[in-house]
Structure formats: C-alpha cells, structure tokens
Amino acid sequence: MTPGEIGTWLAKSLGDFHLSRGERQELAEKIATLESMADRQTVLRRAFELARAGLDHPQAKLILGWLEDVARTIGTTHSEPTKTLAEAYFSPGDECLDAILRLLHHSRRTANICVFTITDNRVSEAILDAHRRNVSVRIVTDNEKAEDLGSDVERFEAAGIPVRVDRSPFHMHHKFAILDGKTLVTGSYNWTRGAARDNQENLIVTNDLRLVKPFSDTFDHLWNQLG
C-alpha cells in the first residue's frame, strides 16, 4: 500500500475516536507493506495532522488516545530487515549501464529521475518499460540538453511521462535517480552511450536513508520549482 492509502484508512478509523484491536492489527499489516522508513514517517505525520484537526472537538481526549495507539502500532511494527546496499560501478564498460537497467527493471512504484542528459536508447527503453508497468516516472533534465540531437525527452513526453526542465542560462547538472523511494543512484555517469563506451565515469547505488532522503528532498524541490 502507499502512505496516502493508509492515510485515508486512518481518517476513516478516527470516525469513532477509537483504534480497536482489529484495527490495530490491520494497521500493523498495512505498515509492514511500506518500503521505507520515510513512508512510515509520512503515515505518522498524517496521523498527527488528523489528530491536530480535532483538538477543538468535545472528544479531543479520545482523539489523543487514538493517536497514541496509532503511533505505538507504527513504532512496534516490524518488516523484513532491509539489506544494506552500497555498490560502486565504473566506466568505460557496461557496469554503470547494467546497474541502471537492472534497477529500473526492478522498480515497482516510483522512479524519480534527475539527469543532465539522457540519450542512451537502452536506458530510455527501460524508462518507458517502467512507465508501461504503471511505475510513476518523473524526469527532471537540462533545458539545453533536452534539445540535443539524440535526446529522448520528446519520446518520454509523447509516452505521457511528465518531464520538467530548468529555465535558466545555467545547467541542471545533476545525475541521480531515486527508485521506489528507497534506492539512490548517483555519480558522474550521464545516461548516454558515450559515458558507457568512452568516458571515465562512476556510479554509486545505495539505500542508506541518510543519503536517500536529501536527494529525494532535492528532487521534490526541483520538481515544484520547475512546475
């Protein structure tokens, strides 16, 4: 489930100002499906928003009790331990390319891509395939590079993938992506054939939340800024 769907469920559960034993079990099962600690925090923030909106209600004490039960359930629900991911790849050669293709192939929910230029058709096909699997793909790229010969930005837009570009004389020079909200891909590697074939480049893949979160926040900031 998504944090938004669980948030909708929480709003309904607050209707009687009580989180029953059955509801606590159901909430625990829903929380266990989330893919990252950030998603859990999103659900918890939604619970606080719902409770805060009811502080002037005559049943405010019951609402606070509901919030305590929700917070306790979220805090004590355990999911499968996440394997630490810390990988490095280099080019020339296909190491970086293969890592990107593999991660895009295994993405299931979201793919937020913020890359200076995308001209490698092998990568573009993997992005389009993710979109066809109903992965929510969003792309931020450089306005000048989007018009380069070989750029696949028009293909993405034609397929219905939302794309935003910077509108300044300077470059949007990032090269990173966040997949399913939990895996960061970043490094000097541009998503081009030349980077794989000729250039000395690097690519880092990690699920360390200390890195995933600031990159996710940066993507959201750019996305909103360029909207």
Instruction: Please identify, among 76, 104, 131, the residue that sits at the C-terminal boundary of a domain.
Output: 76
pTM, 2 dp = 0.66
What is the Cα gyration radius of the chain? 21
Give the pLDDT of residue 149.
Answer: 60
> What is the phi/psi pair of residue 26, to 5°?
-65, -40
| Total structural domains within the chain | 2
150 pLDDT higher than 80: no
Strand order in the sheet with 175-179: 86-91, 201-206, 183-186, 175-179, 110-115, 136-141, 163-165
Q: Write the CATH number for 96.
A: 3.30.870.10
Regarding beta strands 136-141 and 163-165, do their DSSP bridges make them parallel or antiparallel, or are they unpaired? parallel
Instruction: Please identify, among 43, 76, 109, the residue that sits at the C-terminal boundary of a domain.
Output: 76
Q: Which residues does residue 138 pair with via DSSP β-bridges, in sequence order?
A: 112
Question: What span, in angstroms and rounded, lies between the C-alpha atoms of 126 and 77?
Answer: 35
Residue with tokens 């293909």: 155
Instruction: Please identify, among 33, 50, 76, the residue that sits at the C-terminal boundary of a domain.
Output: 76
| Residue 86 host element (H or E) | strand 86-91
- Which residues have a catalytic role annotated? 173, 175, 180
Its domain, for residue 20, covers: 3-76
Give the pLDDT of residue 199.
Answer: 95
Question: What span, in angstroms and rounded, lies between the C-alpha atoms of 24 and 31?
Answer: 10
Give the pLDDT of residue 37.
Answer: 83
pLDDT-derived band of residue 167, with 50, 70 and 90 as boundaries?
Answer: confident
Pair 51, 107 in one domain = no
Higher pLDDT, 201 or 167: 201
Give the pLDDT of residue 73.
Answer: 92
Q: Is residue 81 part of a domain?
A: no
Q: Which tens digit of pLDDT belongs to each residue from 23-44? A: 998 999 889 888 778 889 999 9
Give the pLDDT of residue 121.
Answer: 93
Question: What span, in angstroms and rounded, lies between the C-alpha atoms of 190 and 187?
Answer: 8
pLDDT-derived band of residue 6, with 50, 70 and 90 as boundaries?
Answer: very high
Determine what percent of the chain is predicted with pLDDT higher than 70.
Answer: 95
Q: Is residue 48 part of a domain?
A: yes
